[in-house]
Amino acid sequence: MRILLLGGGGREHALAWKLAQNPSLDRLWAAPGNAGIEDIAQCEPLDPIDPEAVAAFAEKQGIDLVVVGPEAPLVAGIADELASRGVPCFGPTAAAARIEGSKAWAKEIMFRAGVPTARSATFEEVAPALAYLESLGEPCVVKADGLAAGKGVRICETRSDAAEAVRDCLERGAFGPAGRPVVVEEFLDGEELSVFCLTDGRSVLPLAEARDHKRALDGDRGPNTGGMGAYSPVPGTSDVVKRAVREIFRPVVRTMDKEGARFVGLLYGGLMLTADGPKVLEFNCRFGDPETQAIIPRLRTDLAELLLASVEGNLRVYRPNWSPQACITVVLASGGYPGDYHTGLEISGLEAAATVEGVQVFHAGTARRDGRTVTAGGRVLAVSALGHDLAEARERAYDAAARIEFEGRHYRTDIAARAAEGG
């Protein structure tokens, strides 16, 4: 089998690491990849959001499966382009990727499917949005419709903050075309949970749940980031995951199919566990980062086989096998991230870190320069560790993380800390 993986972050390194274990793999390519992926795949300087270029490459190389990591190529129609040329692609069509690419459309699907989510309405104009705000309590939430690199959601303490957020989107063009329409919704209280389900468009196969840590600093302080760490499993959530599969994932997949937007790929539900049960905050149309780096090490079933089954529509016969171990991943970030940071800084200690039992170091923003590994992004590495429980996984991950150095590196010291203590 010949596989092409699109993307170049920590999620893609974790996927590449697992795909590379497939016994019938002939060749693995990644575009663009990173310094860690380079060790297990051939990296190509292709732009993942150029569907034509990717499809031409896939055809030329006789690729049997394209695996798409990030959302942008999916929303841009990579799966459609590949399908038109008969190249199997793991990841939804542009029509189905709208579940992530348009929060307004995702809400419509949720309402039609009757799944629990925050009460909301969608607006193109300021005045009716402000009127609707009067019907909501405080705090409330304003969301840009389109992809906004994780910056399009504002939790507003007051209605007047929310009114400003609406104006930012609709009048001041804060997010460009992604800011129109806006979704205005009620605030949901509870703990968040990320649930990953594979689907072939009909069957839904829950993979695993994870919890991520979005804030930059310990104790959930500091600015929001792409994610500073994650852990899986999340203790005490197995019933809620089953309930979410029944009440959320199956109805949404069925509704999308009925609407002509059959979803093939990984459907990621960002849930709020409220006092009234799980409610959807959003859907993503791909694996999460860094949750994937905490889930993939636990997977014993062959990943390529699972992804192919989803593409070929026979997921129903699969039951993935999981390690009973827990996994955590700790992100090592550049100094200054999520603000400005330097790149090109030499990274040392990677080999020493890799010798810690149960540890896999996944590269996120790295590059190779003159035979050395250097930083090339805000999130540089994700240090994952398995352990017999979260406490042991934490010890191992932090032992390994401390062995890795680059100027200005920072990481949170409390990933999975509360869960490990049983709280």
Our CB check for ligand ADP shows the closer of 193 and 419 to be 193
Tell me: does residue 141 bind ligand ADP (CB under 6 A): yes
Other C-beta atoms closer than 10 Å to the C-beta of 391 total 17
Site string for Mg ion, 269-308 (x = CB under 5 A): -x--------------------------------------
> What is the nearest approach in angstroms of ligand ADP to the Cβ of residue 248?
15
Q: Which of 84, 128, 135, 155 binds ligand ADP (CB under 6 A)?
A: 155
Cα→Cα distances 343→143, 208, 306, 330, Å: 31, 34, 36, 20
Cα→Cα distances 215→229, 336, 400, Å: 10, 13, 22
User: Which of Mg ion, ligand ADP, none is residue 19 near (CB under 5 to 8 Å by kind)?
Assistant: none
Our CB check for ligand ADP shows the closer of 158 and 323 to be 158
User: Which of Mg ion, ligand ADP, none is residue 192 near (CB under 5 to 8 Å by kind)?
Assistant: ligand ADP
Tell me: does residue 270 bind ligand ADP (CB under 6 A): yes
300 — alpha (psi -120 to 50), left (phi > 0) or beta?
alpha
User: Which of ligand ADP, Mg ion, none is residue 188 near (CB under 5 to 8 Å by kind)?
Assistant: ligand ADP
Residue 48 one-letter amino acid? P
Tell me: does residue 281 bind ligand ADP (CB under 6 A): yes
Tell me: does residue 185 bind ligand ADP (CB under 6 A): yes
SS3 53: helix
Closest CA to 268 of 97, 146, 117, 416: 97
DSSP for 250-305, written as a single string: HHHHHHHHHTT----EEEEEEEEEETTEEEEEEEESS--TTHHHHHGGGB-S-HHH
User: Which of Mg ion, ligand ADP, none is residue 308 near (CB under 5 to 8 Å by kind)?
Assistant: none
Our CB check for Mg ion shows the closer of 32 and 270 to be 270
Strand order in the sheet with 140-144: 120-123, 182-186, 140-144, 153-156
Q: Which of 150, 219, 223, 336 binds ligand ADP (CB under 6 A)?
A: 150
SS3 68: strand
> What is the nearest approach in angstroms of ligand ADP to the Cβ of residue 270?
5
Q: Please state whether beta strands 359-363 and 215-217 pair in parallel, antiparallel, or not at all (unpaired).
A: unpaired
Our CB check for ligand ADP shows the closer of 20 and 153 to be 153
Contact footprint for ligand ADP (CB under 6 A): 118, 141, 150, 152-153, 155, 185, 187-188, 192, 270, 281-282
Residues making contact with Mg ion (CB under 5 A): 270
